[in-house]
Amino acid sequence: MKTSEFKQLLTKHPEYDVQFILPNGGLVPLHAHITEVGRVDKTFLDCGATVRKVSYLCLQSWVADDVDHRLPAGKLVEIIDRAAPILGADDLEVELEYEGTLISQYPVVAIASDHHLHIIRLGVKHTDCLAKEICLPPAKGEESSSCCSGTGCC
């Protein structure tokens, strides 16, 4: 979900609390704090030797002993707006960084509103080969051009 859509959905009911649902159905505790709002820029070389760039908005959550803490949607939008000079004008994808057993990042995929709560569904990230056309093995009967045969992959 892009930043503009995320903020637009949250501002429909700024008084609602925010609840994040992990991909496995688990919940980020309702008393989690957002401790960082940042723009993450990643420049990398894929296995096909193409330089690529990705950027996203990362919201870092932190669960403290303050179990009475709640994050109203309007406050979260204010926090994101304060980070505008860092985020720039790009409409970035939104991800939540959360420490369960491990520190993980989850893309925001949906928001629903129900009973004074914004329910924010988180998705999963996967690794991928971005140069499949030169890295994948050929189909049976085709000549090999995979990375193991000396083409431009890896």
Helix 3-11 vs helix 73-82: angle between axes, to the nearest 10 degrees?
A: 140
Asked if 79 contacts 61 with a C-beta cutoff of 8 angstroms, the reply is: no
At 112, the pLDDT band (50, 70, 90 cuts) reads very high
Quote the strand ranges of the chain, DSSP E. 17-21, 33-45, 51-62, 93-99, 103-114, 117-122
Answer positive or negative: Cα dihedral of 98, 94, 21, 33: positive
Which of 105, 124, 115 lies closest to 36 in space, CA to CA?
Answer: 105
Residue 78 Rama label (left phi>0; alpha psi -120 to 50; beta) = alpha
Which tokens belong to 110? Answer: 């949906």
This prediction has a pTM of 0.85
Percent of the chain residues past pLDDT 70, beyond the cut? 90
Token duo for residue 5: 């859509």
Task: Provide mean pLDDT across the span 75-91.
Answer: 97
pLDDT score at 87: 97
